[in-house]
Structure 1
Amino acid sequence: MSLFPADIEAEARRIITEFAARKLMISAAESCTGGLIAGALTEIAGSSAVVDRGFVTYTNEAKMDLLGVNAATLKAYGAVSQQTALQMVQGALFRSRADIAVAVTGIAGPGGGSAEKPVGLVHVAARNRSGTILHREMRYGDIGRSEVRLATLRTAFEMLIEVAVTQ
């Protein structure tokens, strides 16, 4: 029995299988998902050939210390922003042995949202060492904390697969 929904487990299995065959490694920088990306991937046997490391950077200090996110970026744009997600993914890639990284930062709720940054807003970024960088601003809505986090996981997996094509 998996800890994750069947579709997420199937995508994790696909990523582990395909990335292992191509000898690609992944790192993940996670804020609102709190380690779920790394957790879902490592739920799959054989993941040690693919998962290099994960960074759970829930606070701004952790984002700066572990990933090198610039304090000025956080001050100007906030933790939940495209700019922060892009710096997180860069830090996850270049502070690891990974070929591909993914980063997520958002507001899972139930509180913490505002008119400008509502609950369900998540920025997801993926990057590979060949220079391909992807970003998506997702607005899942106020669908519940767990649902926002699982939807973010699904998006992150899609983007890992998408960015792997150009690696």
Structure 2
Amino acid sequence: MKLNKQKTALALLAVTTLWGCAPTEEEKKQKEEEEKNRPSISLQSVGTITEPVNGATSFPTTVSLSKTAAAKVTVQYAITPLTASGGSDFEVKTGLIEIPAGTLNADIDVTVYGDNVDENDEKFIISLSSPTNANMGNASQVITIMA
């Protein structure tokens, strides 16, 4: 059997290169330690808000870290309906919130609309997802609009 030296050398180079791509045990432990030391990010409890008689009312919902982070923390958020009607009872929206390095919190502005209709209490939810430089803590809050 005759071997092609160039193809053999290329195959060995490829195997050697790929072998070096896998993280070492030390790198795995370091990554686990970094993840354990990250702050957790959570939504603070809002609970119940009173529906305005008419017009719109905005209020802040605080997103907080368990401790300051050395790097900027980001997290996606979504405000979506449960029993409340998106667009007529509250503003449906999604976005990205940033907490600068060295700080503990930032706010999401939530808008509730008054509709002059006698109705039962209604609910919507604020959810967090996909944090960077933080671990997920309390990822959602149900908010009740008292009619």
TM-score by shorter chain over 0.5: no
Choose between structure 1 and 2: higher strand proportion.
2
Larger radius of gyration: 2
Choose between structure 1 and 2: higher helix proportion.
1
Higher RCO (Cα < 8 Å, 6 or more apart): 2
TM-score (norm 2): 0.31
